[in-house]
């Protein structure tokens, strides 16, 4: 039977070969057939192609597989370490059923080297991009004697396994190209670490560079990309644990979508998705993403918080190790934190929850325990430092840590990854913490865990402590003073017209001189907020607590009769619009200065969005609301007004649209939907204005009717983005920085809020040279006329072109 089939195939092959000078199926090579340099093998549905290629500026020839639709993306290289130098290479199917790559002088350069003996060996390039060798007689699709998917290069294609054969110990992992010209394996590898719960790691040798945090039943729990692995419509990722195998694998939901993971020579992993429209790869995520991703960035027993300064903070119950002792484990330059007081497991130690973090490395796991048993077990053993649930999808399983807690990072607000961990803390910490929340609870906790004696003792200490703390904090929270109306009237010369220095959406601004000689800026709020006096006062107190070098400082407030006023420090250099849009004055702003201003505004806005205790959405970010101090440092002003004027704005939608055309995001201008992402849009506009020295609204160009956003987008698409730059600032050495700014600006002004980055990413992208950034798509509101689709005529009437004035309008829906 076997012989018979063999005969038919053989004859068939001969027959077609002679007629068409090609094999029957273009995707296979059978016995005695070959692929010469210059010829290619194409998979059945034309997804992949195999052949010889020369990378970059190299002179070497390699055998590889690439996408048929993008031949510059080589997904696999056979002879990575062993190139040929001639163009006469040849891939042949040898008698023993191996693929052999021969050079011109018939030397073996590379071979599949499998020890099976096949009756009728066939090598086939599958539509998955997998090159397989199988027996044509035994057609069982799973019985490949060899497959290229077992020997990945730098790309993980859908269906490829990243991980282990547990029986043989065979591991499949990615290694990057050494350079764009050289596919030989670089120093990094992306692998599945199974020493503990499985986690993805990028390593150099045995050293971990980045780790994903353990698989928690749903995702790798501790990376910014975790979220995108679970919540995306592009692919589904799995961790497969069979008897003999443990691996990571993914599949696109729809095969028309092309996606893969690539490990770049820099040791950075990218998830790419092919954009059929632009015929380019776009980056879905990058890993490591920020400094907190770097392995043990902060040393032992620290928490890395990307939005805070400094980013490292000792965990509760730990203090920095003595000043002169640096972490000697070679983990990083940052300091190790050590226990405040040694654990003795007697005096009412307990556990404190640290929410939404990447779990530390080196865990000990037990799948059968539930969380209660886990806590009890950890509590019993004095050297157990922390515990957590191991499988969040089933809600049980136990992880414990003994010894130092390494590589913890916080999940920034607004991201959905991260897991809770319960840290062992000494009684003092526990009580201290609980006391802040509910004094009642500690009574229960402490008394059950310890005797009455200890309880009384502890409570006494705590009482003392909080008493002291209370005093301290009262001193710290110096409230914003209320200033008398008469003082202000005198300072502003009775609000005389000559003293008026600006007019914002919420009222005019006056310059004033206090009798002490101090200069102030007084914002006289139009009294249509419908807000009570008490409410206004409490708002002012909140705003007074916002302290950031890129926010203008509130000196005081005034509420008397119908007047409501905010008193700010006076900024002598006026506002940003005064400089950037003026031919002469813009000369003062070198590119370096502009870049500092952009970063400063981004930091201030990040503080408003995430870092202060309140989340504040500015809603009217624009050049005239950026004040400049003596050194031209930017200070965001008007940031409290959005809150003060809240009315029914607590929800993410408002009927009162306050903002400035040209800066408003599409969803806000048309529907009144606002969020931090609408501020990000305004920031993007502002950024492009600073780079270009042109106003978005009222931008004109001889060739088109686009606004600044559209103009920048068109130039970007044509590879001429540098032309966006203000011609008057001519430092050409900063080109890459300028380009990055423009790219970030375009990302910020994307049509849909979900496509815009958070301010934390913006700050990070701006500050980090050499990051691969996502490609922007078409911005929202990019034509001159399209500035407010669907707006009511009344809101148009209120629009003031000349001054780009803030508007406050009632949407008539
Ligand atoms: C082929 O495999 C044999 C045995 O597995 C091994 O000894 C030999 O080094 C391999 N040759 C190549 C070129 O990989
Ligand atoms: C896959 O995507 C293509 C093109 O977008 C679409 O025509 C097709 O219906 C999709 N298939 C499935 C199974 O969703
Ligand atoms: C490609 O273009 C089509 C039509 O313009 C659009 O619907 C689709 O969303 C675009 N796809 C991507 C990935 O941008
Ligand atoms: C292939 O992809 C690269 C990277 O996205 C892109 O720069 C290049 O233009 C593409 N080539 C073709 C032929 O589409
Ligand atoms: C605590 O746990 C460690 C690590 O598992 C173990 O070596 C030690 O024996 C345990 N101690 C007790 C008292 O159970």
Whole-number pLDDT of residue 528: 59
Residue with CA nearest ligand 2 atom 12: 254
Q: Which residues contact 551 (CB under 8 A, 6 or more apart)?
A: 604, 607, 608, 635, 636, 637, 639
Cα–Cα distance for residue pair 151/331, rounded to 1 Å: 31
Any atom of ligand 5 within 6 Å of the Cβ of 366: no
Cα–Cα distance for residue pair 709/699, rounded to 1 Å: 9
Asked whether the beta carbons of 776 and 746 are under 8 A apart, the reply is: yes
Please state, in angstroms and as integers, the Cα–Cα distance from residue 550 to each residue in 389, 521, 604, 642, 766, following that order. 41, 17, 5, 17, 16
Cα–Cα distance for residue pair 315/332, rounded to 1 Å: 17
Which atom of ligand 1 is nearest to 113's Cα?
A: 1
Counting as low any pLDDT under 70, the low residues of the chain are 1-25, 138-139, 141-142, 309, 322-334, 347, 413-414, 431-479, 504-506, 527-532, 611-613, 645-658, 727-732, 770-771, 784-813
Any atom of ligand 2 within 6 Å of the Cβ of 256: yes
Residue with CA nearest ligand 1 atom 14: 113
Could you give the strand order of the β-sheet that contains 199-204, starting from the edge strand earlier in sequence?
188-193, 199-204, 207-211
Ligand 5 centroid to residue 382 C-alpha, Å? 8
Whole-number pLDDT of residue 592: 86
Any atom of ligand 3 within 6 Å of the Cβ of 381: no
Residue with CA nearest ligand 3 atom 3: 277
Any atom of ligand 4 within 6 Å of the Cβ of 367: no
Burial class of residue 489, CB neighbours in 10 A (0-12, 13-18, 19+) = middle
Residue with CA nearest ligand 1 atom 12: 113
Any atom of ligand 1 within 6 Å of the Cβ of 108: no
Cα–Cα distance for residue pair 638/264, rounded to 1 Å: 44
439-449 vs 427-437: helix crossing angle, rounded to 10: 150
Looking at all shown ligands, the one closest to residue 255's CA atom is 2
Looking at all shown ligands, the one closest to residue 345's CA atom is 5
Looking at all shown ligands, the one closest to residue 260's CA atom is 4
Any atom of ligand 1 within 6 Å of the Cβ of 113: yes
Asked whether the beta carbons of 156 and 175 are under 8 A apart, the reply is: no
H or E, element range at 454: helix 452-476
Which atom of ligand 4 is nearest to 272's Cα?
A: 5
735-748 vs 676-692: helix crossing angle, rounded to 10: 150
Looking at all shown ligands, the one closest to residue 151's CA atom is 1
Which residue matches tokens 């995108």? 228
H-state helical runs in 156-289: 226-230
Which atom of ligand 4 is nearest to 282's Cα?
A: 5
Q: CA triplet 694, 700, 702: central angle to 5 degrees?
A: 130
Asked whether the beta carbons of 136 and 4 are under 8 A apart, the reply is: no
Whole-number pLDDT of residue 768: 72
H-state helical runs in 23-136: none
Which atom of ligand 3 is nearest to 277's Cα?
A: 1
Ligand 3 centroid to residue 331 C-alpha, Å? 45
- Among 80, 113, 170, which residue has the most ligand 1 atoms within 8 Å of its CB, making it the best to mutate? 113
CA dihedral 763, 765, 769, 770 (to 10 degrees): 160
Q: Which residues are catalytic?
A: 620
How many residues would you count in the chain? 813
Which residue matches tokens 């886990």? 374
Number of Cβ within 10 Å of residue 685's Cβ equals 28
H or E, element range at 355: strand 350-358
Cα–Cα distance for residue pair 380/515, rounded to 1 Å: 68
Any atom of ligand 4 within 6 Å of the Cβ of 281: yes
Strand, helix or coil for residue 420 = strand
Any atom of ligand 2 within 6 Å of the Cβ of 233: no
Strand, helix or coil for residue 207 = strand
Please state, in angstroms and as integers, the Cα–Cα distance from residue 53 to each residue in 33, 76, 150, following that order. 20, 11, 21
The domain segmentation of the chain, as residue ranges, is: 27-184+225-239+248-280, 292-425, 433-469, 477-569, 577-767
The encoded tokens of residue 715 equal 């130039």
H or E, element range at 663: none
Residue with CA nearest ligand 5 atom 3: 383
Strand, helix or coil for residue 199 = strand
Whole-number pLDDT of residue 77: 97
Ligand 1 centroid to residue 146 C-alpha, Å? 14
Ligand 4 centroid to residue 87 C-alpha, Å? 25
Cα–Cα distance for residue pair 283/771, rounded to 1 Å: 11
Cα–Cα distance for residue pair 261/549, rounded to 1 Å: 40
- Among 345, 364, 378, 381, which residue has the most ligand 5 atoms within 8 Å of its CB, making it the best to mutate? 381
Residue with CA nearest ligand 3 atom 8: 277
Cα–Cα distance for residue pair 742/427, rounded to 1 Å: 52
Ligand 4 centroid to residue 69 C-alpha, Å? 9
Cα–Cα distance for residue pair 765/787, rounded to 1 Å: 28
Strands 302-304 and 408-410: parallel
Ligand 3 centroid to residue 536 C-alpha, Å? 47
Looking at all shown ligands, the one closest to residue 262's CA atom is 4
CA dihedral (439, 444, 449, 455) positive or negative:
positive
Q: Specify the CATH number of the domain 27-184+225-239+248-280.
A: 2.90.10.10
CA dihedral 313, 319, 320, 321 (to 10 degrees): -150
Looking at all shown ligands, the one closest to residue 281's CA atom is 4
Any atom of ligand 2 within 6 Å of the Cβ of 21: no
H or E, element range at 114: none
Ligand 1 centroid to residue 111 C-alpha, Å? 9
Looking at all shown ligands, the one closest to residue 276's CA atom is 3
- In 3D space, the residue among 775, 704, 768 whose CA is nearest the CA of residue 742 turns out to be 775
Which atom of ligand 5 is nearest to 364's Cα?
A: 5
Which atom of ligand 5 is nearest to 383's Cα?
A: 1
Ligand 1 centroid to residue 245 C-alpha, Å? 24
Residue with CA nearest ligand 2 atom 11: 254
- Among 235, 256, 277, which residue has the most ligand 2 atoms within 8 Å of its CB, making it the best to mutate? 256
Ligand 1 centroid to residue 193 C-alpha, Å? 26
Q: Specify the CATH number of the domain 577-767.
A: 1.10.510.10
What are 589's strand-pairing partners? none
φ and ψ at residue 688, rounded to 5 degrees = -65, -35
Strands 34-36 and 199-204: unpaired
Asked whether the beta carbons of 6 and 137 are under 8 A apart, the reply is: yes
Query: Does 715 sit behind a cis peptide bond, omega within 30 degrees of 0 on the bond before it?
Result: no
Any atom of ligand 3 within 6 Å of the Cβ of 277: yes
Any atom of ligand 3 within 6 Å of the Cβ of 793: no
- Tens-place pLDDT, residues 306-343: 777 678 889 988 888 765 454 444 334 457 888 887 77
Q: Which CATH number fits domain 477-569: 3.60.40.10, 3.30.200.20, 3.40.50.300, 3.40.1160.10?
A: 3.30.200.20
Burial class of residue 681, CB neighbours in 10 A (0-12, 13-18, 19+) = buried
Which atom of ligand 4 is nearest to 72's Cα?
A: 1
Ligand 4 centroid to residue 75 C-alpha, Å? 14
The encoded tokens of residue 552 equal 């203008």
φ and ψ at residue 505, rounded to 5 degrees = -65, -25
The encoded tokens of residue 718 equal 């044509």
Cα–Cα distance for residue pair 195/212, rounded to 1 Å: 14
Please state, in angstroms and as integers, the Cα–Cα distance from residue 379 to each residue in 255, 376, 401, 600, following that order. 50, 5, 12, 47
The encoded tokens of residue 226 equal 């975790």
Any atom of ligand 3 within 6 Å of the Cβ of 275: yes
Asked whether the beta carbons of 187 and 206 are under 8 A apart, the reply is: no
Any atom of ligand 4 within 6 Å of the Cβ of 275: no
Residue with CA nearest ligand 5 atom 7: 383
């Amino acid at each position: 039977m076997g012989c018979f089939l063999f005969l038919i195939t053989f004859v068939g092959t001969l027959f077609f070969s002679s007629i068409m000078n090609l094999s029957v199926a273009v995707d296979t090579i059978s016995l005695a057939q070959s692929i010469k340099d210059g010829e290619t093998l194409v998979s059945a549905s034309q997804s992949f192609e195999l052949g010889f290629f020369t990378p970059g500026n190299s002179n070497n020839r390699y055998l590889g597989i690439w996408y048929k639709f993008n031949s510059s993306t080589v997904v696999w290289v056979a002879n990575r370490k062993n190139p040929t130098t001639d163009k006469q290479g040849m891939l042949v199917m040898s008698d023993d059923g191996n693929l052999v790559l021969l050079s011109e002088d018939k030397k073996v350069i590379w071979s599949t080297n499998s020890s099976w003996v096949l009756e009728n060996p066939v090598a086939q390039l599958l539509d998955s991009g997998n090159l397989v060798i199988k027996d044509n007689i035994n057609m069982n699709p799973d019985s490949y004697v060899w497959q290229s998917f077992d020997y990945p290069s730098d790309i993980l294609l859908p269906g490829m396994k990243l991980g282990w054969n547990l029986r043989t110990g065979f591991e499949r992992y990615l290694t990057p190209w050494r350079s764009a010209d050289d596919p030989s394996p670089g120093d990094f590898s992306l692998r599945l670490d199974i020493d503990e719960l499985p986690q993805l790691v990028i390593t150099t040798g045995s050293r971990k560079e980045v780790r994903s945090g353990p698989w928690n039943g749903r995702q790798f729990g501790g990376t910014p990309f975790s979220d995108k692995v679970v919540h995306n419509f592009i692919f589904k990722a799995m961790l497969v644990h069979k008897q003999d195998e443990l691996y990571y694998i993914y599949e696109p939901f729809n095969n028309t979508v092309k996606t893969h993971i690539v490990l770049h020579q820099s040791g950075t992993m990218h998830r790419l998705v092919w954009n059929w429209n632009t015929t380019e790869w776009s980056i879905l995520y990058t890993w490591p993403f920020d400094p907190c991703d770097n392995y043990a960035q902060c040393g032992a027993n620290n928490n890395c918080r990307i939005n805070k300064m400094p980013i490292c903070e000792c965990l509760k119950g730990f203090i920095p190790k003595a000043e002169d002792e640096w972490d000697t484990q070679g983990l990083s330059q940052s300091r190790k934190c050590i226990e405040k007081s040694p654990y003795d497991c007697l005096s009412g130690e307990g556990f404190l929850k640290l929410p939404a973090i990447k779990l530390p490395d080196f865990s000990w796991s037990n799948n059968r325990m539930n969380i209660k048993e886990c806590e009890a077990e950890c509590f019993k053993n004095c050297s157990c430092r922390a515990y957590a649930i191991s499988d969040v999808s089933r809600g049980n399983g136990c992880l414990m840590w003994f010894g130092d807690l390494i590589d913890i990072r916080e999940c920034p607000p607004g991201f959905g990854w991260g897991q809770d961990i319960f840290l062992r803390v000494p009684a003092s910490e526990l009580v201290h913490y609980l006391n802040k929340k509910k004094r009642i609870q500690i009574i229960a906790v402490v008394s059950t865990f310890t005797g009455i004696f200890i309880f009384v003792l502890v409570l006494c200490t705590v009482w003392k402590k909080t008493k002291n703390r209370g005093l301290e904090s009262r001193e710290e929270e110096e409230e914003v003073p209320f200033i008398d109306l008469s003082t202000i009237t005198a300072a502003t010369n009775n609000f005389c017209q000559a003293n008026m220095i600006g007019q914002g959406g919420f009222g005019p601004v006056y310059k004033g001189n206090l009798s002490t000689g101090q200069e102030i800026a007084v914002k006289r709020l139009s009294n249509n907020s419908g807000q009570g006096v008490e409410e206004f006062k409490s708002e002012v107190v909140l705003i007074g607590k916002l302290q950031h070098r890129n926010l203008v400082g509130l000196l005081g407030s005034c509420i008397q009769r119908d007047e409501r006023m905010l008193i700010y420090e006076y900024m002598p250099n006026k506002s940003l619009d005064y400089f950037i849009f003026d031919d002469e004055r813009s000369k003062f702003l070198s590119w370096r200065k502009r870049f500092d201003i952009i970063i400063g505004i981004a930091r201030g806005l990040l503080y408003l969005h995430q870092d202060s205790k309140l989340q504040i959405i500015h809603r009217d970010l624009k050049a005239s609301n950026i004040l400049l101090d003596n050194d031209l440092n930017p200070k965001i002003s008007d940031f409290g007004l959005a809150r003060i004027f809240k009315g029914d704005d607590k929800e993410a939608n408002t009927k009162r649209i306050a903002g400035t055309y040209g800066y408003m995001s599409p969803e806000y201008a048309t529907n009144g939907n606002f969020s931090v992402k609408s501020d990000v849009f305004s920031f993007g506009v502002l950024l492009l204005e600073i780079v270009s020295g042109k106003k978005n609204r009222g931008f004109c160009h001889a060739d088109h009717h686009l606004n600044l956003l559209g103009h920048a987008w068109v130039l970007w698409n044509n590879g001429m983005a540098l032309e966006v730059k203000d011609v008057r600032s001519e430092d050409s050495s900063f080109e890459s920085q300028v380009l990055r700014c423009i790219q970030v600006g375009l990302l910020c002004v994307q049509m849909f809020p979900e496509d815009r980055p958070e301010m934390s990413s913006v700050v990070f992208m701006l500050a980090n040279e050499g990051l691969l950034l996502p490609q922007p798509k078409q911005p929202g509101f990019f034509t001159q006329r399209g500035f407010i689709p669907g707006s009511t005529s009344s809101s148009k009437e209120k629009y003031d072109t000349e001054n780009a004035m803030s508007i406050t309008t009632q949407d008539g829906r």
